[in-house]
Structure 1
Amino acid sequence: MAAYHHIMAHFPIALLLLASLLLLLRALSNNPALAKLEKSTPILLIFGLLGGIAAILTGLMLWPHEAVLASPMAKNKILFATWTMIAWIGVAAVRLRAGEGIWETNLRWPLVILALLAAGMLSTTGALGGYLMGSPSDFSTLLKLLGWNVYQTFHAPGWALGVAVIAALLILLTGFMKKAR
């Protein structure tokens, strides 16, 4: 089962990171070639999200729940995987709802910021998976430099979670309102 989880985890990582790169490049440039390439992002986002959800499910089936709940690192992995999928759902919802017209407005910047945040969260989730498998990545070094001991349960204060939820809702609302016009 572990092999299935690895396959299910790495394909969505590639798809979602490519989508974030294309979104960033498209926001910075109106180059016709980039505009054509960026048209693939809705497909990348949809398949990346479906694969990410499958990766979460195979990961939950892989290890006994008692072991996962006893491990601070495994709890961090589940927490970040969930937050990551929520962030990518936000990116996909805004991009799909706003369509290609988003590139003609200033709404492209909140979308790109959310995509970059989601990409960072995805990288963190992957780094935690590497730790769990005994193979820390170079990204893990960055986490250490930022002061996060991944062997302890991550804690976010309630106010920080509230700000994150409000920011995500505002970004989504802005995208939906813009599409309605």
Structure 2
Amino acid sequence: MTHLHTISAELHTGMLVLAFISISIKIIGDKLGRFPKVTQVLEQTAYVSALSGLIFLIVSAITGLTSTWPKEALLASPLVLNKILFTEFAIVFWTIFLLIRWKYGADLWKSLKLKTLYVSMATGGFLSITLTGSMGGHLAKNESLLDLFLHRAGINTHAVFILSETWIISILAFVFSILIVSILLRKKYRYYKTRDGALQGP
């Protein structure tokens, strides 16, 4: 199981990073108006990579809790608790990312609000797995390549991230806002799609 955790950790990191890079290049290509066929392939690549990466991320999380240290030791470590927290963040971000793509398909790029939400989820997911990867480096080798940047940003991954009530309320409000916006955009998309179909006729 330990080997499975190592393999799944490497796979989910590579696939999710590939998804984020693919989306980033597509955005740049669209703004420049260059290489439309390439950006189309990259958009599809991001979707497949994110789906595969999310599966391996969940496998990595499960095997990490069941096959490494004893649970009592894991849950007593602030670093591990932070890693669990940001792993959950990553799962949520990438799940929403995939749901948006699954519901709207490539048409999501026609809506500025939907496109912004989609890219935001990819960015949040990328940052979350970057932090979990850094924490994993500390658990394995007691060091990470991101230490310099994290220290300059004032982020201490060895201290438990305790959120205040204000932060909790803000996060919940943000999540509910995303859900509401997604529902409204879905209804708007269906309305315009139905209207366009009626105008075009049989």
Same fold (TM over 0.5): yes
**Aligned partners of 1:61 and 1:102: how far apart in 2?**
39
Distance 1:171 1:147, change over 3 A: farther
User: Taking every aligned residue pair, what percent have the same amino acid on both sides?
Assistant: 27
**Aligned partners of 1:96 and 1:174: how far apart in 2?**
16
Which residue is equivalent to 1:66?
72
Distance 1:170 1:26, change over 3 A: farther
Which residue is equivalent to 1:35?
40
Q: 2:172 aligns with which of 137, 158, 162?
A: 162
Aligned residues: 181
Structure 1 ranges of 4+ moved more than 6 A: none
The Cα of 1:111 is off from its aligned counterpart by 0.9
Q: Where in structure 2 are there 5+ consecutive unaligned residues?
A: 192-202
Contact 1:27 1:103 in 2 (8 A): no
Q: TM-score, normalised by structure 2?
A: 0.81
Q: 1:103 aligns with which of 105, 109, 118?
A: 109
Which residue is equivalent to 2:121?
114
Which residue is equivalent to 2:20?
20
3-state secondary structure, aligned to 1:137: coil
Write the deviation string for residues 105-153 of structure 1: whole angstroms up to 9, x where unpaired.
Answer: 2121221122111100110011111111124222232222221221111
Which deviates the most, 165-174 or 65-74? Answer: 165-174
Q: Where in structure 1 are there 5+ consecutive unaligned residues?
A: none
**Aligned partners of 2:46 and 2:66: how far apart in 1?**
30
3-state secondary structure, aligned to 2:143: coil
Q: TM-score, normalised by structure 1?
A: 0.89
Note the 1:137-148 alignment, pairs <5 A: 137-148=144-155
**Aligned partners of 2:98 and 2:104: how far apart in 1?**
10
Which deviates the most, 131-140 or 12-21? Answer: 131-140
Which residue is equivalent to 2:8?
8
Contact 1:69 1:75 in 2 (8 A): yes
Larger radius of gyration: 2
**Aligned partners of 2:9 and 2:163: how far apart in 1?**
25
- Structure having greater relative contact order (Cα 8 Å, sep ≥ 6): 1
The Cα of 1:176 is off from its aligned counterpart by 3.6
Give the residue type in structure 2 aligned to 1:113.
S
Give the residue type in structure 2 aligned to 1:180.
R
Contact 1:73 1:151 in 2 (8 A): yes
Which residue is equivalent to 1:57?
62
Contact 1:45 1:88 in 2 (8 A): yes
The Cα of 1:156 is off from its aligned counterpart by 2.3
Which residue is equivalent to 1:84?
90
Contact 2:23 2:42 in 1 (8 A): no
**Aligned partners of 2:64 and 2:10: how far apart in 1?**
12
Which deviates the most, 167-176 or 25-34? Answer: 167-176
Distance 1:164 1:99, change over 3 A: same
The Cα of 1:173 is off from its aligned counterpart by 3.2
Compute the RMSD of aligned alpha carbons. Answer: 1.9
